[in-house]
């Protein structure tokens, strides 16, 4: 089960340059209180998706604070992950007929059983992310550890059958954490239910400061004309991210803003055939328009390029229809780039104040906001500053560390 992931390093004191002394002091003090605590985060994939993105910067920060934090990834075969992808979608409300089959339930549970058997019993706290490994707690009956289930998706209206299946396993945990209150399924009964939003690392290659001229140079080398406007969407090629809605909005906006350019940047995760089909469809759209560019991790676009796109684009779009949190929104706001985003899931938690005017519910609204923003650079700048303030205050790693360590402290001191 153990799978070494090349982790970053972190330095909590770097955050003193950008965050309040109270916050960092509290984080350091929580670290001291919990010094030597053995903590294990468990999820189902070493890369691809928000949870892995988060843990890769989060775990090193805990270690710096004196927590003996590890990250382990459960094993599973293609069948198991097909089931768990279904569970994941079902928590977001999509029906999953297969879950009625005994064989499907058995496969899910026997996988969790065999992973549970490989767990090191000496951890003090396990934090289990999302439904894939949710039954690990059930199969660790002897465990003296505290168990936290962390749900990253919008589970406000889960498919009833799937939820009835999962709920008893989740109710065995000491605590459950959701991104926002709205996401907590109504009939969940548990000792402690709490909320905390995810966060981004200010210093990773995705978010580190890169001078604007370097970003522009990179974009120019890729073929963009910096005399014309550029709007960009960064997200997996997934229907919930509504890429075709983004393309339609771009086309509408282009009628008002001739020469407008669009970049669609996606990444492919392991075993994601849906992503491939959608990529081909988006590619077909791009064939019709010289100003539309498609990029992915397969064409050499990595974290630094995404960073550069988020900094050098005039507007970032994230037209999600459903969204757990939407880390890319925080990433773009952190870079002072104005964002137009779907009014879905955890996005409104980030787009507060004046930014909430740029939450959209339709293609037309999205197009209109694009035109509005591109015509008003002073407004863009004000929104950019406001966005950065919000992220600095609420969505950087130390705040998440504080929330999680507070929770842990409350559990282990019981």
- Alpha-carbon gap, residue 318 to 346, rounded angstroms: 12
Give the number of residues in contact with its own copies, rule: CB under 8 A.
Answer: 46
Contacts (Cβ under 8 Å, ≥6 apart) of 122: 38
Among 47, 168, 181, 191, binds its own copies (CB under 8 A): 47
Distance in Å, CB of 10 to its own copies, minimum: 9
Give yes or no for residue 259 binding its own copies (CB under 8 A). no
> b or e along 305-326 (b: 16 or more beta carbons within 10 Å of the residue's beta carbon)?
bbbbbbbbbbbbbbbbebbbbb
HSE-CB of 224 using CA atoms within 13 angstroms: 28
Q: Does 203 bind its own copies (CB under 8 A)?
A: yes
Binding of its own copies by 274 (CB under 8 A): no
CB-nearer residue toward its own copies: 168 or 223: 223
Chosen residue from 29, 122, 164, 283 binding its own copies by CB under 8 A: 283
Q: Which of 163, 295, 325, 334 binds its own copies (CB under 8 A)?
A: 295
**Stretch of 43-51, 192-200, 252-260, 377-385 lying at the interface with its own copies (CB under 8 A):** 43-51
Nearest distance from C-beta of residue 222 to its own copies, angstroms: 5
Smallest Cα–Cα separation from 316: which of 349, 293, 338?
A: 338
**What single-letter DSSP state applies at residue 396?**
B
Is 58 a binding residue for its own copies by CB under 8 A? The answer is: no
317: phi then psi, degrees, rounded to nearest 5 = -110, 140
Phi-psi region of 2 (alpha: psi -120 to 50; beta: other; left: phi over 0): beta
**Residue 337: what are its φ and ψ, rounded to 5°?**
-100, 135
* Residues 218-237 interacting with its own copies (rule: CB under 8 A): 218, 220-223, 225
* Tally of CB atoms within 10 A around 277: 11
Minimum distance, C-beta of residue 220 to its own copies, in the bound complex (Å)? 7
Beta carbon of residue 171, minimum distance to its own copies (angstroms, whole number): 35
Note whether 210 binds its own copies by CB under 8 A.
yes
**CB of residue 200 to its own copies, shortest distance in Å:** 13
Please report whether residue 18 would count as binding its own copies according to CB under 8 A.
no
Of the ranges 154-162, 204-212, 376-384, 390-398, which one interacts with its own copies (CB under 8 A)?
204-212
| Helix (DSSP H) and strand (DSSP E) numbers for the chain | 14, 12
Member of 7, 23, 196, 371 binding its own copies (CB under 8 A): 7
Structure tokens at 68: 């003996």
* Residues 302-341, mask of contacts with its own copies (x by CB under 8 A): xxxxx-x---------------------------------
343 binds its own copies (CB under 8 A): no
For 103, the token pair is 């064989």
Of 48, 82, 156, 252, the one binding its own copies by CB under 8 A: 48
State the nearest-atom distance from the C-beta of 79 to its own copies, in Å: 17
Regarding 301 and contact with its own copies (CB under 8 A), the answer is yes
How far, in Å, CA of 361 to CA of 364, rounded? Answer: 9
CA atoms of 277 and 330, how far apart (whole Å): 28
Between 170 and 263, name the residue whose CB sits nearer to its own copies. Answer: 263
* Residue 270 engages its own copies in binding (rule: CB under 8 A): yes
Please give the full DSSP string across 94-153, using - where no structure is assigned. Answer: ---GGGGSHHHHHHHHHHHHHHHHTS-TT-SEEEEESSTTGGGTTT-TT--SEEEEE--S
Q: What's the CA gap between 167 and 169, in Å, rounded? A: 5
Residues that bind its own copies (CB under 8 A): 2-4, 6-9, 46-48, 60, 203-206, 208, 210, 214, 217-218, 220-223, 225, 267-270, 283, 286-287, 293-295, 297-306, 308
């Amino acid at each position: 089960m153990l799978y070494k992931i090349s982790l970053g390093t972190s330095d909590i004191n770097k955050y003193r340059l950008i965050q309040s002394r109270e916050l960092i002091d509290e984080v350091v003090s929580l670290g001291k209180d919990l010094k030597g605590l053995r903590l294990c985060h468990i999820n189902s994939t070493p890369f691809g998706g928000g949870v892995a993105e988060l843990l890769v910067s989060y775990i090193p920060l805990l270690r710096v604070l004196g927590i003996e934090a590890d990250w382990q990834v459960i094993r599973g075969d293609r069948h198991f992950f097909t089931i768990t992808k279904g569970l994941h979608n079902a928590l977001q409300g999509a029906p999953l007929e297969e879950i009625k089959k005994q064989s499907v339930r058995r496969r899910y549970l026997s996988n969790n059983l065999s992973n549970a058997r490989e767990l090191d019993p000496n951890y003090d706290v396990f934090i289990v992310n999302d439904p894939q490994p949710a039954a690990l707690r059930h199969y660790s009956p002897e465990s003296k550890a505290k168990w936290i289930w962390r749900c990253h998706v919008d589970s406000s209206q889960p498919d009833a059958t799937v939820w009835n299946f999962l709920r008893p396993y989740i109710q065995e945990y000491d605590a459950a954490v959701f991104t926002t209150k709205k996401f907590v399924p109504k009939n969940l009964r548990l000792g402690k239910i709490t909320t905390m939003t995810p966060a981004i690392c200010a210093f990773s290659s995705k978010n580190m400061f890169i001078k604007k001229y370097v970003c522009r140079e990179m974009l120019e080398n890729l073929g963009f004309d910096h005399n014309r406007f550029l709007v960009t969407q960064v997200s997996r090629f997934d229907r919930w991210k509504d890429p075709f809605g983004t393309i339609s909005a771009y086309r509408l906006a282009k009628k008002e803003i001739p020469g407008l350019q669009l970049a669609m940047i996606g990444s492919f995760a392991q075993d994601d055939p849906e992503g491939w089909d959608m990529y081909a469809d988006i590619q077909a759209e791009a064939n019709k328009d010289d100003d539309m560019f498609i990029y992915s991790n397969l064409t050499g676009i990595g974290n630094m390029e995404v960073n550069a796109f988020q900094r050098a684009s005039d507007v970032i779009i994230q037209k999600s229809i459903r969204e757990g949190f939407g880390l890319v929104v925080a990433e773009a706001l952190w870079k002072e780039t104005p964002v137009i985003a779907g009014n879905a899931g955890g996005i409104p938690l980030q787009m507060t104040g004046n930014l909430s005017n740029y939450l959209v519910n339709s293609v037309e609204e999205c197009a209109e906001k694009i035109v509005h923003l591109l015509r008003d650079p002073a407004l863009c700048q004000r929104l950019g500053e406001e966005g950065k303030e919000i992220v600095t205050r609420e969505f950087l790693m130390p705040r998440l560390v504080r929330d999680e360590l507070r929770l842990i402290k409350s559990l282990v001191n019981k």
